[in-house]
């Protein structure tokens, strides 16, 4: 493992300006025999140097406490959360740093690996981004960080390997995620809708376009309107499946790096992968106060969009104040057919959220199906 490397240390433009201003004030004080002005000038001139000392202390604390964690050995195609955390045990030096992780370049990244961490003395700061796992052992490069003093007068740029995990071990997906029999049955029987095309049932009439089947010409409408009109028929195709995930309340943090949301997000990612592999259109709603909305998309594009939505969803948070309104707006804006909604939530809020969603299902005259999958520890 490489040793930490100091790339650069310098005064920031603000620090340099303060130092020069302090020297000018000190010189002015000497010319006028004003010891107060001279003292003030020297204090201002040396402040950036004192800030530099604090920055070095902060950088040492940063290198000692920054930790990278990968909670579990992920399966190929699953989202692996990469957690960077800093715990500041110093009583004097705050840690203010722009940290950029360097994940394996051949893995798809969701979210930015560059973040700003601010940890005051005695506190902890944490940020998370996600990688889509592939089989094998893949190494992370060194972390690069810029550390600042609290006033922004001095800057250090350093590279080093943080504590914790330096490799992502991906397991091959020898078995696909198997849906529960009840869910498989719901999907196979309910994810159908009517869309435009050749079929057995009438959909609407429209003006004739070159290439239309002459057998579909509506002669009565043609005679009445004086132009060729055809009947457009309907056929059955797959309907969208909308996955909804509720992170759960702030207080329910579970084991370290194993929050209820992380368990639920793994289930959601598996469902999205299985459904998209069947050619089913998939969408996503993150049920937090400001909902994360991902419109339905088919195939791999839909899977990528759902994984991105999961990455944007915070691990804790209260559900939307008016869940029913969120679902209604989503259906109105993005869905034109009978969808299947799958709701994943911690046990303590699943029933209440499911009740609101079922109320919308009643209003939709049965065109909305809600299934509640509670987060149980055996799902780990």
Query: pLDDT band at 207, cuts 50/70/90?
Result: confident
**301 or 178, higher pLDDT:** 301
The per-residue pLDDT for range 65-96, each reduced to its tens digit, is 788 888 767 766 667 788 888 877 766 667 78
**Do residues 264 and 81 make contact, with C-beta atoms less than 8 angstroms apart?**
no
Q: How does strand 340-345 pair with strand 369-374?
A: parallel
H helices then E strands: how many in the chain?
Answer: 8, 19
Q: What is the pLDDT of residue 188?
A: 55
| Domains along the sequence of the chain with CATH | 10-61 (no CATH), 64-170 (2.60.40.10), 181-189+238-379 (3.40.50.410), 193-237 (no CATH)
Q: Say yes or no to pLDDT of 377 above 50.
A: no
**Do residues 316 and 253 make contact, with C-beta atoms less than 8 angstroms apart?**
yes
Size of the chain in residues: 380
Q: Say yes or no to pLDDT of 179 above 60.
A: no
Query: pLDDT band at 294, cuts 50/70/90?
Result: very high
Q: Select from 378, 348, 329 the least CA-distant residue to 247.
A: 348
Dihedral sign for Cα atoms in the order 265, 266, 271, 276: positive
The per-residue pLDDT for range 308-325, each reduced to its tens digit, is 888 788 878 888 888 889
Average pLDDT for the chain: 76
Please, which residues have CB within 8 angstroms of residue 155's CB and are 6 or more apart in sequence? 8, 9, 10, 11, 12, 55, 146, 147, 148
Q: What is the pLDDT of residue 298?
A: 83
Query: pLDDT band at 20, cuts 50/70/90?
Result: very high
**341 or 283, higher pLDDT:** 283
Q: Say yes or no to pLDDT of 181 above 70.
A: no
Q: Say yes or no to pLDDT of 5 above 70.
A: yes
Q: Select from 327, 311, 263, 316 the least CA-distant residue to 289.
A: 316
């Amino acid at each position: 493992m490489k040793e930490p490397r100091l790339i650069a240390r310098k005064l920031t433009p603000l620090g340099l300006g303060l130092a020069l201003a302090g020297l000018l004030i000190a010189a002015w004080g000497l010319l006028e025999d004003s010891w107060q002005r001279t003292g003030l000038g020297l204090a201002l001139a040396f402040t950036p140097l004192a800030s530099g000392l604090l920055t070095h202390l902060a950088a040492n604390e940063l290198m000692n406490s920054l930790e990278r964690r990968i909670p579990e050995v992920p399966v190929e195609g699953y989202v692996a959360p990469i957690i960077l955390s800093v715990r500041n045990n110093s009583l004097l030096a705050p840690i203010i740093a722009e940290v950029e992780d360097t994940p394996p370049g051949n893995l798809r990244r969701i979210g930015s690996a560059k973040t700003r961490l601010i940890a005051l003395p005695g506190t902890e700061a944490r940020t998370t981004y996600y990688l889509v796992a592939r089989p094998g052992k893949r190494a992370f490069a060194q972390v690069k960080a810029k550390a600042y003093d609290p006033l922004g007068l001095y800057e250090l740029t350093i590279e080093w390997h943080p504590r914790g995990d330096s490799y992502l071990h991906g397991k091959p997906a020898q078995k696909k995620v198997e849906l529960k029999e009840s869910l498989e049955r719901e999907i196979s029987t309910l994810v159908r809708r009517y869309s435009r095309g050749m079929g057995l049932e009438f959909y609407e009439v429209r003006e004739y376009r070159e290439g239309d089947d002459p057998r579909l010409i509506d002669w009565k409408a043609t005679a009445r309107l004086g132009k060729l009109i055809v009947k457009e028929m309907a056929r059955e195709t797959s309907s969208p499946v909308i996955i909804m995930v509720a992170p759960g309340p702030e207080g329910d943090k579970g084991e370290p790096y194993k929050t209820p949301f992380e368990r639920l997000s793994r289930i959601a990612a598996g469902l999205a992968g299985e459904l998209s592999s069947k050619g089913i259109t998939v969408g996503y709603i993150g049920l937090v106060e400001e909902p994360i909305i991902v419109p339905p998309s088919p195939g791999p594009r839909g899977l990528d969009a759902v994984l991105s939505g999961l990455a944007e969803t915070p691990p804790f948070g209260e559900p939307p104040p008016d869940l029913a309104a969120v679902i209604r707006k989503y259906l109105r804006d993005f869905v034109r057919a009978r969808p299947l909604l799958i709701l994943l939530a911690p046990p303590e809020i699943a029933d209440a959220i499911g009740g609101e969603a079922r109320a919308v299902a009643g209003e939709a005259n049965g065109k909305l199906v809600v299934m509640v999958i509670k987060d149980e520890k055996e799902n780990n």
